[in-house]
A and B are shown apart, each in its own frame.
Chain A
């Protein structure tokens, strides 16, 4: 129904514009074209005995049809026929034509002109519609892309507002449905919304839909307030600035907006927008819950742990205890085990962050030597029993990573190397550049990897069968390292010559193309 109504409106509008001064301008332009063609034919006649008179007049007819519409094409046809009879067919100077064959050809000209004008007008209209549809599809595509990228309800509403203001073609303010506890609704988009319109919006959000009559503001501009969709109240309420309108034009523009909004609302429903909104809200909710959990775990567990660990270090160094090696040993047990417990808590927290997709690496230019040094510094205690070799090239490229995450990943790999290789053995850290990649390898001389270990290493909670009894661990370390490196656009790979032949874990990070140019930054 609404589509038919739109079509009728469009045709009526077309006719009105043809009768308007612009349309008359088209007719005059067409007549001018006829005059030009007549002049050219007069010139051609001087050296060509029988110029193609009637056919030549088809040119202005087609131009008029394409550029100014049907009416001016008809006028052009009549003018062309008149000029042919008056200027070219004998007797000239009258509209009478002596030769019956010429009379016939002129009649055929008129028929062909009218038919081709009709075709040209239709072609033009269709290409216009196609162009409009293409724009609509592009708009919709851009809109759906914004929807897909939306992480919060406000981003989605922002997208809806942009979409609606494009389709309606007027100043549009969108109001997100909120719980009353959140206070007054705030508009998205057009922010300059008068007070009485806001009151109507609040009423509409509360479910008291006004009959959809436009509300005048103090400047006399009319505002239309209605729910975006009558079926899905979740899509919010829209206020449209109609500008200053007479009662008749107001009626017309309102009908058009209603039609456009109806189409837009059904598109929004088809895109599963209501569903997307609920999903985003739920995601935000669960993220809040997870953050609260992480916060409470790290505080509630770590506070007593801090007391235990701190007290153990004070005890160990206290004069009375330090005098007796057995007591020092016991104090060390308390200290080392609390340290281990603390690391496990940290791993669990990191794992929660990863599985909740809450990893947002903060990419910055970083010096890999700093990352390696910090990882070694932080693991100085656990690494103490091993000989650590570091080989880094003299000229290293800067990489663009979240250095803190890469340091944590490297720390996990170092901890594994220490854990699975005998005290006193050598751990080698080597860095090198291979093409557009910076590689960092940690090699140990320890337990190595069986083929089964290698294939399952990336799994969360995976532990090698040989170690389950002998070496404590949660099976999270490599998995966390992998997630942190991958989040930075890198890769991680573990290789081994076999069981008890040591293992090498290699982190590879992309070197941005412009890393080389940075070297030329002046230090003057």
Chain B
């Protein structure tokens, strides 16, 4: 591990992922820069919303860390603008931790949400997850493996180890929607709309019951789920998929 640190300090600009840090606080940018650089990223900075949008259009960017409270534009506006032309992973930083706010940002297309204050290790772990997801999306693999679970989206089959599961249509649909965005939080409303349709958008209990039944089939302990995870007050997500070929990111 120690050796890795040393190696990564010599940044290879050709393969190092580019992260754009957007925050109006100099001190925050400073520690984020050090933290990301120690971990082998190449870092650029923006201190307001307009600069962030310009930087994202000018330079090839692999990841954006976006603070919500910016002096010129609201962070959610920046998110919306960038999402209008780019699918680059965006992690939101905010001092507010209200669940309603999170729901809104996830629905606007944020990939993850970290509440300030936070530790660098946590942010790095989450960055790694969203970057992996992006490479997956570009390879277009139709098989998602999480822990002992294997979802074959093309053949519509689900296995635990090598045993094929029998799922009801709603259970499969839930797993399918989540597997199309592995690691990404999908809000209650998004899932209800996808699975039951618009009229049932507030019937959270439908979702709770199907999640419970699905967990009984795919989790080894349904009360301590490891695959189908709850984001309390916001929605659900699948744990990050197993990736034997990690090498192309780090």
Contacts and interface: CB of A to CB of B under 8 A. Distances in A.
A101 to B, nearest CB: 85
Contacts of B32: 310
B31 A307 contact: yes
Contacts of A128: none
A523 B119 contact: no
B28 A307 contact: yes
A126 interface: no
B137 interface: no
Given A369-B223, A403-B232, A523-B168, A314 B34 contact: yes
B99 A374 contact: no
Interface stretch (B47-55, B73-81, B206-214): B206-214
Contacts of B71: none
Contacts of A308: 117
Contacts of A522: 168, 170
Interface in B205-250: 205-206, 208-214, 222-225, 230, 232-233
B118 interface: yes
Interface string A375-416: 000000000000000101010101000111001000000000
Contacts of B171: 523
A374 B229 CA distance: 10
A248 interface: no
Contact of A523 (B30, B210, B225): B210
Contacts of A396: 223
Interface stretch (A10-18, A181-189, A317-325): A317-325
Interface in A323-366: 323, 335, 338-339, 342, 362, 364-366
B164 interface: no
B232 A371 contact: yes
Contacts of A317: 38, 120-121
B140 interface: no
B120 A338 contact: no
B208 A309 contact: no
Nearest to A520: B209
A362 B233 CA distance: 9
Nearest to A521: B209
A396 B234 CA distance: 21
A310 B34 CA distance: 10
B95 A314 contact: no
Contacts of B86: none
Interface in B181-209: 204-206, 208-209
Interface residues of B, number: 44
B148 to A, nearest CB: 19
Contacts of B116: 302-303, 306
A67 interface: no
Contacts of B118: 306, 309-310
A523 B35 contact: no
A298 interface: yes
A314 B120 contact: yes
B59 interface: no
Interface string A279-298: 00000000000000000001
A456 interface: no
A423 B5 CA distance: 33
B156 interface: no
A311 interface: yes
Given A319-B2, A371-B232, A313 B208 contact: no
A524 B230 contact: no
A349 to B, nearest CB: 10
A392 B223 contact: yes
A355 B232 CA distance: 25
B27 interface: yes
Interface string A69-96: 0000000000000000000000000000
A367 interface: yes
Given A306-B28, A367-B211, A523 B170 contact: yes
B25 interface: yes
Given A367-B230, A369-B223, A306 B168 contact: no
Contacts of A367: 208, 211-212, 230
A521 B170 CA distance: 11
Contacts of B224: 369, 373, 390
Contact of A364 (B35, B120, B204, B222): B204
Interface string B152-181: 000000000000000011110000000000
Contacts of B211: 367
A407 B95 contact: no
Contacts of B92: none
Given A314-B34, A365-B208, A518-B208, 6 more contacts: A302-B116, A302-B117, A313-B35, A313-B119, A319-B5, A373-B230
Enumerate the 6 nearest inter-chain pairs by beta-carbon distance, A residue then B residue, closest first: A307-B27, A306-B117, A365-B205, A313-B119, A370-B230, A309-B117
14 contacts: A308-B117, A309-B118, A310-B31, A310-B118, A311-B27, A314-B31, A314-B38, A367-B211, A371-B232, A390-B224, A398-B205, A403-B232, A519-B209, A524-B168
Interface of A: 298-299, 302-311, 313-314, 317-319, 322-323, 335, 338-339, 342, 362, 364-367, 369-371, 373-374, 390, 392, 394, 396, 398, 402-404, 407, 518-519, 521-524
